Amino acid sequence: MSKILPFKAVRPTRDKVSLVASRSYQSYTQAEREARLDYNPFSFLHIVNPGYKYDKEISGEARYNLVKNRYLEFKEDGIFIQDQSPCYYIYKIVDRDDQEFNGIVAAASVEDYNNNIIKKHEDTIASREVVFKDYLKTVGFNAEPVLLTYPKNNTISAIIKEKQKERAEFEFTTTYRDTHYLWLIDNPEDINAISDAFSNIKTLYIADGHHRSSSSKLLCEDLKSNNLKHTGNETYNYFMSYLICEEELKINQFNRLVKDLNGLSKEEFLIQLDTMFRIENRSIMPYQPSKQHHFSMYLDGEFYSLYLRKSNYIFNTALDQLDAQILYKTILEPILGITDLRNDNRIMYLSGKKDIVNLKSMVDSNTFKVGFGMIPATIEQMKLIADQNLTMPPKSTYIEPKLRSGVTIYEF
């Protein structure tokens, strides 16, 4: 039932791909961005940060038009080429811990998104959707795929495995010591087999890229309304996605850091926690929870374990079982007074890839007063929440793999 199509990707030439590929713009510090812009003329950062050329910060429509200009220049200079026929793209990442991610870059259907065949588990912010839609409409391309996940499929797995016996079109290692590979699937037999396999998958789930997919929906509606000859086959009816088997998805947690105790003393705070948690002081020994509904807390130079008193907490939905939701409903909102998890500047989120020592150091620096840790959510929880049309709190999951921008580009 899922409509997943091959497309004609714009991509760097083999000799330039390692120089072009970049992480998402926001993931770089200012110093890192400047170093790459200063010393690597082929970086995709030159496209998304066009003001660098004029040593000026540029925003809004003016920036979008310059992004488009830089992109066209990369094409004119032969840094980017476009495949002549539609392809599926097998993309493999081997990270520094030797974990492998194998998936397919393809075009996913906006119609499937509208019909809830592609399901989401996070809310989006309307203003961000519109901003990114306007950006896409002006620049005419998307360079960051939405991460979709699907249940294990033997046909797709076999095609991926067989193709990977051949020499990869791309193979490059990043400064993060992740190695990226790309293979093209362009023969009709394999293309039809992959398309048929996905058509028999009833549901796909968005793992990462909720704003990108919702913005693609808005873009489709916008361009459709202005196209009197709309057929449904135009490229704007689809959005670039990276589809990966749910067994290969890696989910990390986001830990929470809060700047103050909402006017409470340490003792008053612990007493209020006691209503919903069994508390144990672990002193200076770092504590990392290993079970669902168990939390770690670092406060005033000491670690604590917090075990939820289940008799005092009602589980009605899949969302109620999620530790990020439990933390919000039992501590962050009622005790610490944090109601807006997206916009309250008293809370910060720390990726679970950073260990508990990072959380400790940020509290010890007096930047934050208290930190909370939890175990990652599971793929089963994520799917159940989506199936029940519920949404997780923001920053509930840090999902891998993370693809590089500019390796495959989808034009509208």
**pLDDT recorded at residue 353:** 76
Does residue 377 register a pLDDT over 80? yes
pLDDT digits (tens, 9 = 90+) for 156-197: 999 999 999 999 999 999 988 999 999 999 999 999 999 999
Does residue 265 register a pLDDT over 90? yes
Q: Say which range, 35-44, 53-62, 87-96, 254-263, has the weakest mean pLDDT.
A: 53-62
Q: Say which range, 60-74, 117-131, 328-342, has the weakest mean pLDDT.
A: 117-131
pLDDT band with cut points at 50, 70 and 90 for residue 56: confident
**Range 29-51 average pLDDT:** 93
Cα–Cα distance between 216 and 184 in angstroms, integer? 24
Percent of the chain scored above 90 by pLDDT?
90
**pLDDT recorded at residue 352:** 78
Its sign, for the CA torsion 402, 407, 408, 411, is: positive
Does residue 355 register a pLDDT over 80? no
Taking the domains of the chain in order of start, what are their residue ranges? 4-250+400-411, 254-396
Does residue 356 register a pLDDT over 90? no
**CA torsion angle for 201, 207, 208, 210 (degrees, to 10)?**
70
**Range 130-145 average pLDDT:** 96
Q: What is the mean pLDDT of the chain?
A: 95
**Range 57-72 average pLDDT:** 95
**pLDDT recorded at residue 343:** 86
Residue 279 near residue 372, CB atoms below 8 Å:
no
**pLDDT recorded at residue 26:** 81
**Range 22-43 average pLDDT:** 91
**pLDDT recorded at residue 167:** 98
**pLDDT recorded at residue 290:** 92
CATH label, 254-396, candidates 3.30.1760, 3.30.1460, 2.30.230, 3.40.50? 3.30.1760
**pLDDT recorded at residue 273:** 98
**pLDDT recorded at residue 300:** 97
Q: Which long-range contacts (CB under 8 A, 24 or more apart) does 311-315 make?
A: 312/275, 312/276, 313/276
Integer CA distances (angstroms), 314 to 16, 21, 191, 268, 311, in order: 55, 47, 48, 25, 8
Does residue 45 register a pLDDT over 80? yes
pLDDT digits (tens, 9 = 90+) for 233-264: 999 999 999 999 999 999 999 999 999 999 99
Q: Say which range, 216-220, 296-300, 393-397, has the weakest mean pLDDT.
A: 393-397
Query: Which residue(s) pair with 241 in the sheet?
Result: 106, 146
